[in-house]
């Protein structure tokens, strides 16, 4: 599933970065992917995904 349409970031990419980087926020995850949030609609959803990954780690 696409999490961020502006940057074409998929949920699987976000989960991989969160797993590998021990990240806790969307901004840091986007930076790891070489991107920045643009319109601001996706960071709340990205944070939910990152939190879910952290909870299972």
Residue 3 confidence (pLDDT): 95
Tens digits of residue pLDDT in 3-56? 999 999 999 999 999 998 778 889 999 999 999 999 999 999 999 999 999 888
Q: What is the pLDDT of residue 22?
A: 74
User: What confidence score (pLDDT) does residue 45 get?
Assistant: 94
| Distance, CA of 32 to CA of 2 (rounded, Å) | 17
Closest of 24, 28, 27 to residue 53, by C-alpha: 24
Domains identified in the chain, total number: 1
Q: Which structural domain, as residue segments, surrounds residue 28? A: 2-56
Residue 13's pLDDT is 95
CA distance 56 to 6: 28
Instruction: State the pLDDT at residue 20.
Output: 86
CATH number at residue 45: 1.10.10
């Amino acid at each position: 599933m696409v999490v961020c349409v502006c940057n074409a970031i998929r949920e699987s990419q976000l989960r991989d970065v969160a797993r590998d980087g021990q990240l806790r926020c969307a901004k840091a995850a986007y930076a790891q992917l070489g991107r920045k949030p643009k319109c601001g609609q996706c960071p709340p959803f990205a944070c939910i995904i990152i939190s879910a990954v952290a909870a299972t780690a």
